[in-house]
Amino acid sequence: MSPGRTRTHAEEVVSALQSQEERDRFTRSRQVLKNYLIHKREVFNGRDFLFQGPVVELHESLRSLRELESHCSRFLEFDYAQIEGYFLLRIVGRPQYLSTIDAYFD
């Protein structure tokens, strides 16, 4: 990391995970979700992210992401649901974390 640059939320999570397997799983899950992200909208204290793609792959990625985030991120809350052929991921937190949430898949 270059001097003066702050770490991203994803970099902080990766550094907090205990094993290389967890770090790889987190990185892979975020990339899969990023690839299938089709829409994002603002909700109270957070964002909804909508995904469409392979059901099994998306479901596993969302499950892993939520599980791994819960180990290291105490200030963001993750929940997801399958709605017909889509998956909705809601990330919420305190107002000071809205920019982190908004840029989660950047």
DSSP 69-87: HHHH-SSEEEEEEEETTEE
Q: How confident is the model at residue 4 (pLDDT cuts 50, 70, 90)?
A: low
Residue 80 has pLDDT above 80, yes or no: yes
Mean pLDDT of the chain: 93
- CA dist 92 and 89 (Å) reads 10
- 94 and 38 Cβ atoms separated by less than 8 Å: no
Q: What is the pLDDT of residue 46?
A: 97
pTM for the model? 0.91
For the chain, give every domain's residue range. Answer: 38-106
CATH class, range 38-106: alpha beta
pLDDT, average across residues 45-72: 96
